[in-house]
A = this chain, B = another copy of it.
Amino acid sequence: MKTVYERADIVPLLAEIFRELGYEGTSLSRITERTGIGKGSLYHFFPGGKAEMAAAVLAEVDAWFEQAIYQPLGKGDAHQAIAAMWTDVNDYFRSGRRICLVGAFALDETRERFAAAIGDYFIRWIDAVRSALVRAGCSEEEALALAEEGVAGIQGALVLSRALDDRAVFTRSVETLAKRLDAAMR
Q: Footprint of B on A, CB under 8 Å?
A: 19-25, 99-100, 102-104, 106-111, 115, 118-119, 121-123, 145, 148-149, 151-160, 162-165, 169, 172-173, 176
Contacts of A176 in B (CB 8 A): 145, 149
Beyond the given pairs A106-B163, A155-B159, A156-B159, 8 more chain A to chain B contacts, judged by CB atoms under 8 angstroms and listed by A's residue number, are A21-B108, A22-B108, A22-B109, A100-B159, A107-B162, A118-B163, A122-B160, A145-B176
Report how far A78 CA is from B156 CA in the complex, Å. 24
Shortest Cβ distance from residue A119 to the other chain B in the assembled complex, whole angstroms = 6
Interface of A is mostly: helix
What is the CB-to-nearest-CB distance from A72 to chain B, in angstroms, rounded to a whole number?
22
Cα distance A170–B122 in the bound complex, in angstroms: 14
Given contacts A148-B173, A164-B122, A165-B119, contact A107 B24 (CB under 8 A): no
